[in-house]
Amino acid sequence: MDNKSGLVVNNRFVLGDIISCFFGIVFLAIGLINTFWGNDPGYGIFILLLSFVYFPPVTAFIKKILGISILLIVKIILGVFIIWTALGVGELFDKIDLMLTDL
């Protein structure tokens, strides 16, 4: 019974890491698009830096160096902020169209 509960916990951590990496890649792409095809590269670099919070090795490094664990609610709020600013202020779809016409 104890082995089975340990397996469930390990699978939950693996699934959480996969989901976190997915959002990290999405936010990294948003940052790259805003950096190179936007009118505000500073915003794009800011989003690029924030996207690293979603990668498990970076969060482990932050926890090891600073002793601070990034909570799930903080990641969710940060993700909503990134999506909100990218779609609203950042005009992400217009920048994607601009990027595709450059290719």
CA dist., res. 4 & res. 25, Å (int): 32
Spatial separation of the C-alpha atoms in residues 101 and 89, rounded to whole Å: 21
| CA 16 remoteness from chain centre | 13
Question: Which pLDDT does position 90 carry in this prediction?
Answer: 66
Residues 14, 17, 21, 22: is their CA dihedral positive or negative?
A: positive
Question: Could you read off the pLDDT of 20-79 as tens digits, one per residue?
Answer: 999 999 999 999 988 888 778 899 999 999 999 999 999 999 999 999 888 999 999 999
Going by the DSSP 8-state scheme, the letter that residue 38 receives in this structure is S
| Domain range for 58 | 2-102
pLDDT at 92: 78
Question: How far is it, in rounded angstroms, from Cα 100 to Cα 18?
Answer: 28
Q: Kindly report the pTM of this predicted structure.
A: 0.79
State the total domains in the chain: 1
Whole-number pLDDT of residue 1:
46
The two tokens of residue 46 are 């800011």
